[in-house]
Amino acid sequence: MKSHFKTLTVMIVCAFASANFAAAQDLTKKYGADSIACITNASLYREVFKQRNYKEAYTPWKAVVTDCPMSTKFIFADGPVILDALLKDEKDETMREQYLKELFDLFDLRIKIYPEDEPYTLGRIGVYTAKYRPKEYKKAYEYLGKSIDLSGEQSSPQVLDIFFQIAEVYMINDKLSADTIIDAYDKVSEAMELMIDKAELQLEAVMREIYKLNELFEENAINQDDYNATYEDRRKDSAQFANELIQLQNVGNNLDVRFAKHANCEMLQQIYGKKIETNKDERTLRQIIKFFQKAKCTENDIFAMAVEELHKISPTASTAFYMGVLYSTKKKQYKEALDYFKEAADLYEKESDMINAYIMMADCYIKLGQYSAARDIANKILRLNPNKGIAYILIGDAYIASLSSCNTDVSGAIYWAAADKYAKAKAVDVSIADDAQKKLNTASARFPKIESYFVLGYEKGQTYKIECWIQETTTIR
């Protein structure tokens, strides 16, 4: 009996609130004119909302929005979910328009009550405008663009993605110049890069803790129980950060693919060839470097000019790295390139960026015949990330490159040591397993013949010490 009475009371409250929905919200009282009705409706809608019964949640939710919108912020997060579900099933156009009006009114109300939420809310307005009112793409473009301007790297990946899609529609429908898509990409990629950088830094930090934890356990400086408990916490953190990073990278890759459809090398040369002659401001130079990289136009003279000019007026870790790439790949001046890569490595904050600089440094040392220095750099990479297989590949490459200058009594014995490194690379890093296997196959095909070392008293499976700069023991096979 009590349960029936409670249900009846709630129905009356909801009906009363619904009848007064058109009335202006009272923003002077947190729980409105009738606090009991407000709390009852809020509790009722939240209960059925959690059960994903959005149709039943609609009426009490609507009552809370109308009578006491300041009582709980949940209404602004849950409302779009409820209305989105109703719109999905609703066939009547009049009702659809009513739900859409309530949706956009809800966003306006959120900005009114919580002005600090404006950047986020503008993004939601843009997303739903694009979804339900596609003909109003200009409005969606403006809402999303303003949201990104205000939010920066706090923007949601969805807002960045849809903004770029709308920019494409805007450019095509209104027959605008390619500058539209270039400016849109510049806006979204800048925010995306900052978001990816943040996610990478978080992941790198927790991975350093895991590496340190493993070292402590191997040194018997921590017992099994403490190790297991701490490792499980760090594993969960690393999985979360890795998942976030993958999602961001996927959105970024999708943006790159769509951008590539509109910004090929030839088009970029036409646009920026003229711009750089008269305008060498920092923004233009950064755009050239970013866009020409995406379009794989780095061999272009315009790219080289932009790199050199930007490093003059605003040197950073990135510009130093680009200068190193320019000197190593285009000018083949490896000593000069090394200086720039060293500068970049010292300035970079992210381990992944440092590692990229170290990879280029090791490659330069190999080309200069400074093989021991190349191995030292590869070991620096392994100290940052013990599972970075490219470091072992670099060491193996350095071994083979030194073949003519490192004499052994068994000709070609260096290939055994190089094969060890390629096998190790494959074992620790699945991302470079294919490349490592190819190098391993090449080295294996050049192993010394049995007769060449048998006559010297060596046998298969025996250990063999390689002297000269390598100073490493390998296995005869």
pLDDT tens digits, residue range 84-130? 999 998 999 999 999 999 999 999 999 999 999 999 999 999 999 99
Q: Return the pLDDT at 298.
A: 84
Tell me how crowded residue 376 is: count the other CB atoms within 10 A of its CB: 14
Lookup result for tokens 């009991």: 36
Q: What angle do CA 68, 69, 75 make, to 5 degrees?
A: 125
Closest-CA residue to 252 (of 190, 302, 200): 190
Taking only the tens place, the pLDDT of each residue in 344-394 is 999 999 999 999 999 999 999 999 999 999 999 999 999 999 999 999 999
- Categorize the per-residue pLDDT at 275 as very low, low, confident or very high, splitting at 50, 70 and 90: confident
pTM score, whole prediction: 0.69
CATH of domain 265-475: 1.25.40.10
Q: What are the boundaries of each domain within the chain?
A: 2-113, 153-263, 265-475
Give the whole-angstrom CA distance, residue 149 versus residue 155: 9
Q: Return the pLDDT at 363.
A: 97
Q: Return the pLDDT at 407.
A: 87
Cβ–Cβ under 8 Å, residues 317 and 353: yes
Tell me how crowded residue 122 is: count the other CB atoms within 10 A of its CB: 23
Q: Return the pLDDT at 3.
A: 41
Mean pLDDT over the full length of the chain: 90
- Categorize the per-residue pLDDT at 2 as very low, low, confident or very high, splitting at 50, 70 and 90: very low
Cβ–Cβ under 8 Å, residues 285 and 302: no
264-283 mean pLDDT? 84
Q: What angle do CA 8, 12, 17 make, to 5 degrees?
A: 150
pLDDT at 473 over 50: yes
Cβ–Cβ under 8 Å, residues 464 and 452: no
Tell me how crowded residue 108 is: count the other CB atoms within 10 A of its CB: 11
| First CA to last CA distance, the chain | 87
Give the whole-angstrom CA distance, residue 246 versus residue 342: 29
Give the whole-angstrom CA distance, residue 102 versus residue 340: 57
The three-state secondary structure class of 155 is coil
Q: Return the pLDDT at 337.
A: 97
Which string of DSSP letters, residue by residue, matches 231-271? HHHHHHHHHHHHHHHHHHHHHHHHHHHHHHHH--HHHHHHH
